[in-house]
Structure 1
């Protein structure tokens, strides 16, 4: 399967711009799930900027 990194980068909302996984969504998701967290693109912009990627922060952000 071909990686669509350049296309993904156009829609990536993560503000951690020095991350080597930006635009490589499969690696990003795998890395975050291994750390028991979610990628920044799962959060509203104001919460994403806190870099708290926890499931708890996700539930709180979306009132779950």
Structure 2
């Protein structure tokens, strides 16, 4: 399967600029799940900027109806 990195970058909300996985969603998801996290695209813009991508942070945001 061909990677659509350039197309993915247009919609990638990740604010961590030096990330080598930016736009390569399969690598990004694999990396974050391995670390018990979700990728930045699962969070609101404000929540993503905190760099807290933990499952627990995501759950809190859902419970607070912020996602």
TM-score normalised by structure 1 residue count: 0.95
Deviation at 1:63, TM superposition (A): 1.8
Contact 1:44 1:61 survives alignment (8 Å)? no
1:22 has 2:22 as partner: yes
Q: Distance in 2 between matches of 1:49 and 1:6?
A: 22
TM-score normalised by structure 2 residue count: 0.91
Q: Superposed, which structure 2 residues align to 1:6-45 within 5 Å?
A: 6-45=6-45
Pairwise CA RMSD of aligned residues? 1.0
Q: Where has structure 1 moved over 2 Å in runs of 4 or more?
A: none
